[in-house]
Structure 1
Amino acid sequence: MTISIIIPTYNNAANIGLLVQDLLAERSPHICDLIVVDGGSTDQTLTIAQSMGARALQSPIKGRSAQMNYGAALAQGDIFLFLHPEIRIHPTYAREIMLAIKEQHDMGCFRFKYKTNRIFPRLGAFLSRFSALYSNAGRQTLFIKRPVFEQLNGYNGETKIMEDFELLRRGKQYFKFIVLPTAVIASTKKYDAKNYLRVQAANIIVLCLYRMGYSQEKIIAMYKRIVHVK
């Protein structure tokens, strides 16, 4: 079986080269393509990704859901690995995914950690080893068998927020899921710019509003109001 890596990007020139470098470091025979799908960056994201060895594509529609679905439609692998563009990943990632698939798991993610000594981000990272739905681990990494992804009809193209949660919620009802123990390193950029407790409060409120059936527009507006994003 082979793995297709799909990375949705938007103005990630500062990070994408490092991630592609991580992904290609071990030259795993299981990796059949590495696709960066961009949402209209105004920086050098695509140029850097292509120069580092990725297949760099411009999505016809901007948005994480649309970009990841577009990449999946063009991917060749038996397994899709969706990655956040600002993470750093360990060199054994492909072997660990293949082992999880061999053990009959249909989908899963890696836990994550932050390079920080601040207590609250470290607590969030600790929780990622137990739950992908409530710790944000599924937004950092997600691997899923192609037939499972297709049976779920991929990411919901109507979602502008919570797209990872929405796919995981549907998938975990019917398919075997695992959180792998090795951690990727997640970016602290969002927490460096904003108060961590404020961001976490926004995440919790957004989750509650989503589960209560509020519209995407109202959820996004509430999130921006809490974290003071214009």
Structure 2
Amino acid sequence: MNSNKPRLSIIIPVLNEEEHLFTLLQHLYQHMSFPLQAEILVVDGGSVDNSKLEFDRYKGLHPEFRVEWIQSQTTGRAAQMNTGARWAKGEIFYFLHADSFPPVGFDALILEQIAKGNRAGCFRMQFNSSHWWLRLAGWFTRFNWKICRGGDQSQFISRELFESIGGFDESYRIFEDNMLIAALYERGEFTVIQKTLTTSCRRYEKTGIWRLQYHFWMIYLKHRRGAGPDHLYAYYQKHLAK
């Protein structure tokens, strides 16, 4: 393994991701421009499937890369990502969902934005679906508007900026990505890289496109009207956690 300090720390929160994890790790290293300048931290939130076995299988095949499995002591994606940030050695964090696949040269694109003084941002996004609504939703992610943002688009941020915000708010069991994004927009610290990340539409396939979209809108509206993290999570548990 390269002993030099990594520049980029890729932080992936997982929970029962055996289906995607090996493929994602393959994808990341095949699409990086500078793989020896990065580390990947897979932060587990209590998986009971074969996620760890899939991780070990990849790491065994590629001992030359920095890939680490971290067991979060606290459940919830916000806590997992904060745990990854505490372990990270890089000065740039890249938070990525396990079913989202960034574009070719994504690491170089992030480093380029940092060099320009853009300390936080994401990629454009497309779903792996031809459904017109999901294609339209993906099309809107090219615009640098807060309403078009979400965690599936991934999030790069400098360590300094992340720590100044206080990281992810762990009181939010859902909507944690949106809270960080809102803080970044309030500071005028957000850019959209005009290259496309592909994310899975599995939630839409499982729940139904219109049903899932309706409940996402309701969560967003409830937050806008002042609902706190416990209320949002209770709504999510009632309507979407099945």
Q: If the TM-score is normalised by the length of the shorter chain, which range does it land in?
A: over 0.9
Find the counterpart in structure 1 of residue 64 from structure 2: none
- What residue number does 1:71 align with? 84
* TM-score normalized by the length of structure 1: 0.92
Q: Is the 8 A contact 1:86 1:187 kept in 2?
A: yes
Summarize deviations over 1:75-128 as a string: whole Å, max 9, x none.
Answer: 000100000001122231011101111111010001110122111111111111
8 Å contact 1:81–1:141 — kept in the other structure?
yes
Q: Distance in 2 between matches of 1:68 and 1:197?
A: 29
Does residue 151 (structure 1) correspond to residue 164 (structure 2)? The answer is yes
- Residues 46-55 or 147-156, more deviating: 46-55
Q: For residue 188 of structure 1, report the CA deviation from its aligned partner.
A: 0.8
Question: How far does residue 131 in structure 1 lie from its aligned partner after superposition?
Answer: 4.3
Hey, what does 1:31 align to over in structure 2? 37
Structure 2 Cα separation of the partners of residues 72 and 105 of structure 1: 19
- Please give the secondary structure, in 2, of the residue aligned with 1:172: helix
Q: Measure the CA separation in 1 of the matches of 2:108 and 2:178.
A: 25
TM-score by length of 2: 0.88
Q: Where does the alignment leave 5 or more consecutive residues of structure 1 unmatched?
A: none
Matched, 1:44 2:50: yes
Across the two proteins, how many residue pairs are aligned to each other?
229
Q: Deviations over 1:8-47 (max 9, x none)?
A: 0000010011111111114615633110000010011122
Gaps of 5+ in 2: 1-5, 60-66
Does the 8 Å contact 1:7/1:36 carry over to 2?
A: yes
Structure 1 residue 172, shift from structure 2 partner: 1.8
Q: Which residue is 2:142 aligned to?
A: 129
The share of aligned pairs that are identical, in percent, is 29
In the TM superposition, residue 141 of structure 1 has moved relative to its aligned partner by 0.4
Report the equivalent of 1:88. Answer: 101
- Contact 1:104/1:176 (8 A) holds in 2: no
2:118 partner amino acid: H
The letter of the residue matching 1:147 is E
Deviating above 6 A after TM superposition, structure 1's stretches of 4 or more consecutive aligned residues are none
The 8 Å contact of residues 16 and 85 in structure 1, kept in 2 or not, is answered as: yes
8 Å contact 1:22–1:90 — kept in the other structure?
no
Q: Is the 8 A contact 2:95 2:155 kept in 1?
A: yes
CA contact (8 A) 1:131 1:137 kept: no
